[in-house]
Amino acid sequence: MNLDDKKKMIRFMFPVSIILLFCIMLLSSTFGTANIAFTETLSVILSKIPFLNNFISISEIPKNHILIISKIRLPRIFLSALIGMGLSIVGASFQAIFKNPMADPYILGISSGAALGAALGFVFKLESSFLGSASITITAFIGSILTTVVVYTIAKVRNKIPTNTLLLAGISVSFLLSSLISVIMVFNRNEVEKIVFWTMGSVSAANYNEIILLLCFLCVGILIIIALSKDLNIILTGDDTAKSLGVEVDKVKKVILVVSSMIVAACVSVSGIIGFVGLIIPHVVRILLGPDNKILLPFSLVFGAAFMVISDTLARTIAAPAEIPVGAITALFGAPYFIYLLIKSKKKVM
């Protein structure tokens, strides 16, 4: 297959993959503890779409079914898809700027900062305040941002942020914050279950306010990252080569790091820590379609969304009526793949 044929195939595959994503989301909305027919689910969804709602009647559908679909299942599906998009595109961009296949969205310790913020929120019982559960989202977001600032400050050398120093700073701060969380749990045993469950990741409390908030961060962040896809391709050839070709390497890295950190902070604050999505999805896309970030980044968005929707569907159905944290499901897929990457890299060294 020549280059032109490959480009034509990829142009065809992208809209097809989006259609498949919507099909996955639609099918996901039919699964759950409550036994709701596919036709009822489809009718409720279509009734929410402008113009189409004039031709769809849901008067014969039980009200509790309508509430389950519109207030519980659909928010979870939309939030899962957005989180999958955010973590996947950040993982792909981090792997490009760090030139490290093991890089993931949490490599800078952002997740530990969010976990500490959430832990403090539970300890001070902020969920009982007038903000309710949103207070934990806010404290987690603040924890993420403060951690990002601390890591950048530690790693910054004049106006540059050396990659190795940034990684070491992220790892060090992450360990420090994790130890603080452990200490907090020892002295606040009544809140241990809430803290542990939050760190395992879940979208069970999804609502449309969180979806709108996350969508705002993602729209801006994704557009910026994709706009820099050409520069990321050049950076992959080496910083010196990229500079000789006119790319402002340090500036591009700073923009990617800041934007990606904001995306990750927003994702983690509404869902907890959901691991391995940003690690395995870019790798899968890279294996299927190649390393070109102009292709890798958009397809990572779609694949990441599909992966998260499928994972959350499994999380809320395979142990029904109980629910498994979605972070545990993604880890079941991601951990074996991570081990595979380690073995593969070891063979290259040997």
> Domain with 284 in it: what CATH number?
1.10.3470.10
Amino acid at 186: V
Give the position of tokens 């050398």.
157
CB 63 within 8 A of CB 223: no
How many angstroms separate the first and last alpha carbons of the chain?
33
CA-nearest of 214, 226, 320, 319 to 274 is 214
Residue 78 resides in a domain: no
Q: Which residues contact 225 (CB under 8 A, 6 or more apart)?
A: 89, 90, 93, 256, 259, 260, 297
Residue of 2, 83, 10, 6 lying closest to 295 (CA atoms): 10
Helix axis angle for 110-123 and 134-155, nearest 10°, is 140
Q: Is residue 65 part of a domain?
A: no
For residues 176 and 327, what is the distance between their CA atoms, to the nearest angstrom?
Answer: 22
Q: Estimate the crossing angle of helix 293-317 against helix 208-227, to 10 degrees.
A: 160
- Residues facing residue 157 across a β-bridge: 160
111 in a domain, yes or no? yes
pLDDT at 141: 95
pTM here is 0.92
If DSSP codes are grouped into helix, strand and coil, which group holds residue 3?
A: helix
Q: Is the dihedral of CA 139, 144, 148, 151 positive or negative?
A: positive
Query: CA 154, CA 308: separation in Å to the nearest integer?
Result: 33
Each residue's pLDDT tens digit in the chain (350 positions)? 566 666 777 778 889 999 999 999 999 999 988 888 889 999 999 888 888 777 888 888 999 999 999 999 999 999 999 999 999 999 999 999 998 878 889 999 999 999 999 999 999 988 878 777 789 999 999 999 999 999 999 998 887 888 888 989 999 999 999 999 999 999 999 999 999 989 999 998 899 999 999 999 999 999 999 999 999 999 998 888 999 999 998 899 999 999 999 999 999 999 999 989 999 999 889 988 888 999 999 999 999 999 999 999 999 999 878 889 999 999 998 888 778 777 776 666 55
163 is a domain residue: yes
**Helix ranges (DSSP H) in 29-133:** 38-47, 63-67, 74-97, 110-123
- Residue 327: inside a domain, yes or no? yes
Counted domains in the chain: 1
In a domain, 2, yes or no: no
Whole-number pLDDT of residue 103: 87
CB 337 within 8 A of CB 214: no
Residues paired with 160 in a beta bridge: 157
- Grouping H, G, I as helix, E, B as strand and the rest as coil, residue 160 is strand
Asked if the peptide bond before residue 50 counts as cis, ω within 30 degrees of 0, the response is no
Residue 23 lies in a domain: no
Q: Is 34 part of a structural domain of the chain?
A: no
The number of residues making up the chain comes to: 350
State the residue range of the domain holding 213. Answer: 84-349
